[in-house]
């Protein structure tokens, strides 16, 4: 890669980084993992940059890597978790309540199977079409529709979201306990 292409790629990294991390966070629920996902996707994009650039849609390429890496990460997750005898540092108090809302949503998202979670994040946060989601996930459009439908049905009655249901209405007969 020559200097001009490298400068262009550096700009690409800076401009895409926040959104890729947020995509990774939506998929993993962990900011550290999200940054790892985004970084490894961009590293792979660098290694194949001439081809990725020529293909004309580098964003689609890195998004696909983030999603696929996130999916494969779950297969390995069991062996990389370690128990610690010491408590982590206490977090900062959240005066705005924003973090609580985010936690509730993430808890609900993480309760979904990872395929459904990916569909929700890509479809409803990234505003991708069903076809675009199908291409990234390597499945049919019909599968995306059914996954989205099931995911939304689960989120609608998720205990984590009951305090603030998506449509502003309480769902009858469900526990309000946080898991």
Partner 1 sequence: MSSDNERALRQRLDSALDTITPAPAPVSTVLRQGRALRTRRQVTVAAGLAVAAAVAVAAPGLVHHLGRQAPISPTRKPVVTVNPIGAGAPRGLIGSGTINGRKWRLIADRPGTNGAAKHGQCFETSGAASGGLACGDLLTSNVAGGVGFDGLGNAYYGVPSANVTRVTVTLYGGTVLVLHPVQAYGQRYFAFAVPPSLAIARIVAYSQQAELSYSIPFHSGIGSVVSLWLRPGQRGLPRAARTIGSGTVDGTTWSEAVHAGPWGYCLTGELNDCFGTQTASLGNRITGYTGKGAKAAFWTTGTATAAVDHIRVALSGGLSIRVRAVQCDGPKFFAFAVPKGHRVVRIDYYSASRHLILSQTARQVYS
State both tokens at 116: 């459904």
Among 30, 64, 145, 146, binds partner 1 (CB under 8 A): 64
Nearer to partner 1, 42 or 162 (CB): 42
In the block, which residue shows the tokens 């459904």? 116
Hey, CA dihedral for 87, 89, 95, 99, is it positive or negative?
negative
Hey, CA dihedral for 51, 53, 58, 62, is it positive or negative?
positive
Cα–Cα distance, 155 to 145 (Å, whole number): 15
- Residue 16 C-beta: closest distance to partner 1, Å: 8
In the block, which residue shows the tokens 């062996």? 79
Among 81, 89, 167, 172, binds partner 1 (CB under 8 A): 167
Asked if 72 interacts with partner 1 (CB under 8 A), we say yes
Please list the alpha-helical segments (H only) found in 29-57: 31-47, 49-55
Return residues touching partner 1 (CB under 8 A). Answer: 6, 9-10, 13-14, 17-18, 21-23, 25-26, 31, 34-35, 38-39, 42-51, 54, 61, 64-65, 68, 72, 98, 101-102, 105-106, 120-121, 124-125, 127, 137-139, 149, 152-153, 155-156, 164, 166-168
């Amino acid at each position: 890669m020559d200097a001009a292409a490298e400068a262009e790629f550096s700009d690409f990294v800076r401009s895409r980084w926040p959104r890729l991390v947020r995509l990774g966070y939506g998929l993993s629920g962990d900011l550290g993992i999200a940054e790892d996902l985004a970084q490894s996707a961009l590293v792979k994009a660098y290694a194949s940059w001439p081809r990725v650039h020529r293909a004309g849609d580098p964003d689609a390429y890195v998004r696909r890597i983030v999603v696929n890496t996130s999916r494969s990460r779950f297969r390995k997750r069991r062996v990389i978790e370690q128990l610690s005898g010491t408590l982590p540092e206490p977090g900062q108090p959240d005066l705005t309540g924003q973090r609580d809302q985010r936690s509730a949503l993430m808890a609900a998202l993480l309760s979904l199977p990872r395929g459904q979670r990916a569909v929700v994040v890509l479809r409803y946060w990234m505003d991708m079409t069903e076809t675009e989601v199908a291409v990234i996930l390597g499945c049919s459009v019909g599968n995306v529709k059914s996954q989205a439908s099931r995911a939304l049905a689960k989120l609608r009655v998720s205990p984590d979201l009951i305090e603030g249901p998506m449509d502003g209405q309480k769902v009858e007969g469900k526990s309000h306990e946080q898991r």
